[in-house]
């Protein structure tokens, strides 16, 4: 049985334009297809799924208001900046910021599971959290997040839900990460270079 990863990776090939820009619809659709992977981590990850899903839809709704103008992902943000509407908690700028961060957490977690074939999901999740999201979370959010991560499934149980466990799945997971992570890196760098990588804790 093919893994979820093998179904998502082909979508990444449609995201960039010939000029290497990130297209809005294609990127957001690929991000949507990542949600079933999060489901396999169980109820403890519902906070992550909800955050990712909400920010995808926020950006998608804005893109749909002018498909031509917002064909490229970062144009949604630059338009908000030009209108002075990028600082609001519910702005698309904040939406892209937190979507990028949450997906960086997820991909960092998966990368750890790939690189260390013995590491427990809960350990990989905790390590990934401290490497990505923790610096942006206040005490209350951080405490809730750390508690939720302890509900992570066993490594065997997690991979069994993704398809047929084995080396083929691990290869497909790495192919997905290699294809998808560069978009997150580009998004992070865009936000950082434009002074939009808000360090405020939530």
Full set of structural domains in the chain with CATH: 15-192 (1.10.3520.10)
Integer distance in angstroms from the first to the last C-alpha of the chain?
Answer: 40
pLDDT score at 2 = 78
3-class state of residue 20 by DSSP: coil
For position 1, what pLDDT does the model report? 66
CA 43 to chain centroid, in Å, comes to 17
Nearest to 184 by CA among 125, 81, 67, 98: 98
- Give residue 73's pLDDT: 99
pLDDT beyond 70 at 130:
yes
Mean pLDDT of the region 90-110: 99
Q: pLDDT for 137-195, tens place per residue?
A: 999 999 999 999 999 999 999 999 998 889 999 999 999 999 999 999 999 999 999 99
Q: In this predicted structure, what is the pLDDT of residue 164?
A: 85
User: Among candidates 181, 129, 179, 142, which has minimal Cα distance to 6?
Assistant: 179
Percent of the chain with pLDDT over 90: 97
pLDDT interval class at 68 (50, 70, 90):
very high
Question: What's the pLDDT score for residue 88?
Answer: 95
pTM equals 0.97
Please state, in angstroms and rounded to a whole number, the distance separating the CA atoms of residues 149 and 51. Answer: 15
């Amino acid at each position: 049985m093919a893994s979820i990863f093998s179904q998502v990776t082909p979508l990444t090939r449609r995201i960039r334009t010939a000029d290497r820009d990130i297209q809005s619809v294609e990127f957001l659709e690929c991000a949507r297809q990542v949600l079933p992977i999060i489901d396999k981590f169980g109820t403890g990850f519902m906070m992550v799924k909800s955050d990712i899903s909400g920010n995808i839809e926020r950006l998608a709704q804005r893109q749909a208001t002018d498909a031509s103008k917002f064909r490229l992902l970062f144009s949604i943000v630059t338009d908000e900046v030009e209108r002075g509407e990028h600082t609001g908690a519910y702005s698309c700028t904040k939406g892209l910021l937190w979507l990028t961060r949450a997906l960086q957490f997820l991909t960092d977690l998966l990368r750890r599971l790939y690189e260390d074939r013995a590491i427990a999901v809960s350990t990989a999740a905790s390590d990934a959290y401290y490497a990505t999201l923790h610096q942006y979370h206040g005490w209350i959010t951080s405490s809730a997040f750390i508690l939720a991560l302890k509900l992570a499934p066993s490594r065997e149980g997690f991979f069994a839900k993704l398809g047929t466990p084995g080396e083929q799945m691990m290869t497909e997971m790495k192919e997905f990460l290699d294809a998808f992570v560069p978009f997150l890196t580009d998004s992070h760098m865009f936000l950082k270079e434009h002074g939009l990588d808000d360090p405020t804790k939530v």
